[in-house]
Structure 1
Amino acid sequence: MKKLLLGMFSVVLMTACQKDAATSHSLEAITTVAAKKPSSRMPICHFDATTETWKLMNIKPSAWPRYQAYGDIRLDDVDGDGYVTFNKCGYGQMGDCNDNNAAIHPGATEIKGNDIDENCNGINDDVPAIGASYKGGKLAYVLQPGDPRYDPNLPHGFIAAPADQGVPVWGPATEVGGTSGALGSGAANTARIVAAYGTAGTAAKLCADLVLNDYSDWYLPSLGELNLLFQNRFAIGGFTTEGTITNLFTSYWSSTEDGSGFAWFQYFANGNTDIVSKDASWIKVRAIRSF
């Protein structure tokens, strides 16, 4: 009798174990299929108008246009570069300023001169070195703290044409008035001179009429701007820096006037500045433009 009961118990126990094993295999199969099945929902950062807070939600992709219209933020890394748009939900590796282009994200290589902020640092173009080709000419100077228009978050400065524009006179012996020698005043000086004279072939008009590499906003530098060209003359290149007759032919015009008959210029051989008659015909011109 004991042997019979022991045999029956063994059969029951074996059957139960087989059922548990079968159930376990079934659950594993279901889990594997579920893991392989792509997610049918996408994460977003949603602004709850009732609580006035941002919260993380998962929605169906087909519902996104409706949430997008509310100003919500998509967080599924559309371009697959590993970064998502900045969001107040604190989701993911944030900082992507264009989630539709995998070449644009924090740390990406910045391409100079294309007006695109590849590395998402808030600056469309991180400026290259002085003398590098940039925005129509050669980078001549980048504004420093204390300079007019200096912005720590957005580089400004000016660009020099890659070659001289000629050897014109400054203008007739009548006073323009209101010109300045300060950094940042060259464009206004040029406009004043052109308005007063309007004569083709003068130094300021030659710069104002210049169209070079698709840019047409060139001007004659002020004395302060001209001095910065002198300081960076070798990096920029193309200047006449050696000459004879007391370096006469290394001279460049500024847009800074000195009374009715004179204007300021600078020797690029030694950096000395002086005034000369406006009808001097041996002084060169190098146009610049701002960025």
Structure 2
Amino acid sequence: MKKLLLGLFSVTLVTACQKDATTHQQQRIITTVAVKNNASKISICHHDVTTNTWQTITISIAAWPDHAGHGDVRLDDQDNDGYVPTNKCGYGQMGDCDDNNAAIHPGATEIIGDGIDQNCNGMADDLPLGGDYQGGKIAYVLKSGDPGYDANTPHGLIAAPSDQGSGIPWAPIAPFAFLGTSDALGTGAANTKKIVDYYGDGNYAAKLCADLVLNGHDDWYLPSLAELNILYVNRFAIGGFDTNTNDIPNSYWSSTESDYTSAWFKFFNFGYQTTVTKYDSYRHNVRAIRSF
């Protein structure tokens, strides 16, 4: 009798375990199917034309093209960057202007010159004049027709955030020479090299710029006249210039000569530019720039 009961108990136990295993297997299958079914569903912000209201609904992804055609908005964050397109349902972190590219969303870093609005503020290449960049302040971004312009790679000028000196001569008192410096955009670096190569050590404008090491950059130079004019035009965005009409040292040197004894400078309070002897230091400031 005991053997019979023990056998029956064993059969019952095995049967129960088999049923339990079967139940778990069925649950796994159901869960897998559910996940697959959910993967084929997306949330959208839907415009109900009958009530003229916007509602968050779930649809089959296969039905999306029809909804897209009349202005509905996908809310499933297709690029997984944490943002969804702006929508009238007020759903999620809104503002993504390209939900197929994870590098494009509010707060993303803007890339200068590529024509793409990475940070979704409505402006492409919007690093503003005066914005911090590569050791200084953005002073200018080259445009088509400028020397050195590249449609695929942005280039431009960066100004040091403050002046490198005040009451500084263009060159030591002697000996003077005409070095053949240029007034054109893109020539300030070559001008500076010519000046420093000729005059060597000393406390003068080009040397101050050439010796400058600032925010990890050591390729600063004294701007040409055209580059100095750009600094003047954008002086308030860049900041730090002496523009006080009641302050005598409110002019800045360029690296451009007029002749062997004189060089060009510009007043930054009202924009007048003229020449003066190279060793004149009474009114002149120095602001270094570099290229990017």
Same topology, TM > 0.5: yes
Equivalent residue for 1:180, pick from 179, 182, 185? 182
Q: Which residue type is aligned with residue 273 of structure 2?
A: T
Letter aligned with residue 235 of structure 2 = R
Q: Kindly tell me: are residues 95 and 180 of structure 1, through their superposed partners in 2, closer, same or farther at Cα, counting changes over 3 Å?
A: farther
- Cα gap change, 1:30 to 1:231, in 2 (>3 Å): closer
**Matched residue, 1:278:** 278
TM-superposed deviation, 1:138: 1.3
| Alpha-carbon displacement from aligned partner over 1:106-162 (angstroms, at most 9, x marks no partner) | 44643369xxx9959xxxx95511112222111111112221122233321111111
8 A contact 2:195–2:206 mirrored in 1:
yes
RMSD: 3.6
User: Secondary structure at 2:227's aligned position in 1?
Assistant: helix
C-alpha distance 155-164 of structure 1, shift in aligned 2 (>3 A): same
Matches within 5 A, 1:67-86: none
Partner Cα separation in structure 1 for residue 117 and residue 29 of structure 2? 41
Are the counterparts in 1 of residues 137 and 238 from structure 2 also a CA contact under 8 Å?
A: yes
Q: Tell me the amino acid that sits aligned with residue 134 of structure 1.
A: Y
In 2, Cα distance between equivalents of 1:94 and 1:264: 52
- Return closer, same or farther for 1:30/1:160 CA change in 2, 3 Å cut-off: closer
Secondary structure at the aligned position of 2:290 is classed as strand
2:131 counterpart letter in structure 1: A
The match for 1:240 is 242
- Cα separation, 1, equivalents of 2:168 and 2:249: 13
Contact 2:117 2:125 in 1 (8 A): no
Q: Structure 1: where are the runs of 5+ without partners? A: 1-27, 39-78, 83-92, 97-103
Instruction: Verify the 8 A CA contact 1:173 1:261 in the aligned structure 2.
Output: no
Change (3 A) 1:168 1:242: same
Per the alignment, residue 56 of structure 1 pairs with none
CA contact (8 A) 2:168 2:286 kept: yes
Structure-2 separation of matches of 1:191 and 1:80: 50
Task: Give the match for residue 43 of structure 1.
Answer: none
2:109 aligned residue (100, 111, 117): 111
**1:240 positional shift:** 1.1
Q: Which residues in structure 2 correspond to 1:4-15 (within 5 Å)?
A: none
Q: Which structure 2 residues correspond to residues 149-228 of structure 1 after superposition, within 5 A?
A: 149-166=148-165, 167-171=167-171, 172-228=174-230
Shift of 1:262: 0.6
Structure 2: runs of 5+ lacking an equivalent: 1-25, 37-78, 83-97
CA–CA separation in structure 2 for the residues paired with 1:118 and 1:234:
25
CA distance in 1, matches of 2:203, 2:126: 33
Letter in 2 for 1:209: D
The answer (yes or no) to whether the contact 1:143–1:157 under 8 Å persists in 2 is yes
CA distance in 2, matches of 1:236, 1:30: 64
1:290 is aligned with what amino acid?
Answer: S
Structure 1 residues 116-135: aligned runs within 5 Å: 119=118, 126=125, 128-135=127-134
Contact 1:111 1:118 in 2 (8 A): no
**Number of the residue aligned with 1:252:** 252
For 2:118 and 2:154, locate their aligned partners in 1 and report how far apart those are by CA, in whole Å: 15
For the Cα contact (< 8 Å) 2:160–2:287, is it kept in 1? Answer: yes
1:243 touches 1:249 (CA, 8 Å); kept in 2?
A: no
Q: Which whole-Å CA distance do the structure 2 matches of 1:264 and 1:229 have between them?
A: 14
Identity %: 49
